[in-house]
Protein backbone atom coordinates (compact mmCIF):
# COMPACT_ATOMS: atom_id res chain seq x y z
CA UNK A 1 0.00 0.00 0.00
CA UNK A 2 1.34 3.34 -1.02
CA UNK A 3 0.42 5.20 2.19
CA UNK A 4 0.96 2.29 4.55
CA UNK A 5 -1.36 0.30 6.77
CA UNK A 6 -2.84 0.68 10.23
CA UNK A 7 -3.04 -2.42 12.43
CA UNK A 8 -5.67 -2.37 15.17
CA UNK A 9 -6.04 -4.77 18.09
CA UNK A 10 -9.25 -4.76 20.08
CA UNK A 11 -10.88 -7.03 22.63
CA UNK A 12 -12.72 -9.83 20.85
CA UNK A 13 -16.10 -8.67 19.56
CA UNK A 14 -15.30 -4.94 19.76
CA UNK A 15 -15.03 -2.65 16.75
CA UNK A 16 -12.26 -0.28 15.70
CA UNK A 17 -14.65 2.66 15.43
CA UNK A 18 -13.37 4.45 18.54
CA UNK A 19 -9.93 2.87 18.70
CA UNK A 20 -6.50 3.97 17.64
CA UNK A 21 -4.12 1.68 15.76
CA UNK A 22 -1.49 -0.28 17.64
CA UNK A 23 0.75 0.10 14.58
CA UNK A 24 -0.17 3.26 12.65
CA UNK A 25 1.16 3.99 9.17
CA UNK A 26 3.02 0.71 8.80
CA UNK A 27 4.97 1.02 5.52
CA UNK A 28 5.12 -1.90 3.11
CA UNK A 29 8.32 -3.84 2.67
CA UNK A 30 9.68 -3.20 6.16
CA UNK A 31 11.83 -5.47 8.26
CA UNK A 32 10.13 -7.33 11.11
CA UNK A 33 9.04 -5.25 14.09
CA UNK A 34 8.01 -6.23 17.61
CA UNK A 35 4.68 -5.26 19.15
CA UNK A 36 3.05 -6.10 22.45
CA UNK A 37 -0.49 -7.46 22.40
CA UNK A 38 -2.92 -7.67 25.30
CA UNK A 39 -3.51 -11.12 26.76
CA UNK A 40 -6.87 -12.74 26.16
CA UNK A 41 -9.09 -13.04 23.15
CA UNK A 42 -8.40 -10.22 20.68
CA UNK A 43 -9.31 -9.34 17.13
CA UNK A 44 -6.81 -7.83 14.70
CA UNK A 45 -7.89 -5.55 11.86
CA UNK A 46 -5.82 -4.11 9.03
CA UNK A 47 -6.91 -0.85 7.36
CA UNK A 48 -5.35 1.70 5.01
CA UNK A 49 -3.38 4.36 6.89
CA UNK A 50 -5.74 6.97 8.33
CA UNK A 51 -8.87 5.18 7.08
CA UNK A 52 -11.07 2.71 8.97
CA UNK A 53 -12.07 0.72 5.88
CA UNK A 54 -11.23 -2.87 6.84
CA UNK A 55 -8.88 -4.64 4.43
CA UNK A 56 -8.52 -7.72 6.66
CA UNK A 57 -10.18 -8.82 9.86
CA UNK A 58 -11.34 -9.64 12.29
CA UNK A 59 -8.48 -12.07 12.76
CA UNK A 60 -9.15 -13.70 16.12
CA UNK A 61 -6.36 -14.68 18.51
CA UNK A 62 -6.52 -15.91 22.08
CA UNK A 63 -3.16 -15.01 23.60
CA UNK A 64 -1.72 -15.68 27.03
CA UNK A 65 1.22 -13.92 28.63
CA UNK A 66 4.42 -15.15 26.98
CA UNK A 67 2.84 -16.22 23.68
CA UNK A 68 4.86 -15.26 20.63
CA UNK A 69 3.27 -15.08 17.19
CA UNK A 70 4.49 -13.93 13.83
CA UNK A 71 1.94 -11.98 11.81
CA UNK A 72 2.69 -11.49 8.12
CA UNK A 73 0.64 -9.08 6.01
CA UNK A 74 0.79 -9.61 2.26
CA UNK A 75 -0.46 -7.22 -0.39
CA UNK A 76 -3.04 -8.77 -2.68
CA UNK A 77 -3.80 -8.27 -6.36
CA UNK A 78 -6.98 -6.52 -5.21
CA UNK A 79 -5.90 -3.22 -3.55
CA UNK A 80 -8.94 -3.43 -1.23
CA UNK A 81 -7.77 -6.70 0.35
CA UNK A 82 -4.64 -7.87 2.16
CA UNK A 83 -3.79 -11.41 3.19
CA UNK A 84 -2.78 -12.02 6.79
CA UNK A 85 -0.98 -15.13 8.05
CA UNK A 86 -0.55 -15.81 11.78
CA UNK A 87 2.16 -18.27 12.80
CA UNK A 88 2.46 -19.31 16.47
CA UNK A 89 6.12 -19.44 17.48
CA UNK A 90 5.72 -20.94 20.95
- Over the stretch 46-85, which tens digit does the pLDDT of each residue have? 999 999 999 999 999 998 888 888 888 888 788 788 888 8
Task: Answer with the residue of higher pLDDT: 38 or 45.
Answer: 45
What is the pLDDT at residue 3? 78
| Predicted TM-score (pTM) of this structure | 0.86
Bridge partners of 2, per DSSP, are: none
Query: What burial letters (b/e) apply to 44-60, b meaning 16+ CB within 10 Å?
Result: bbbbbeeeeebbbbbee
The pLDDT of residue 90 is above 70:
no
Domain count, the chain: 1
Residue range of the domain that includes 73:
5-88
Amino acid sequence: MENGLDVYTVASGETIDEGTPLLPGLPSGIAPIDADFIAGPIDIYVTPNGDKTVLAGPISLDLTTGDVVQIIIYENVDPNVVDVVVVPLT
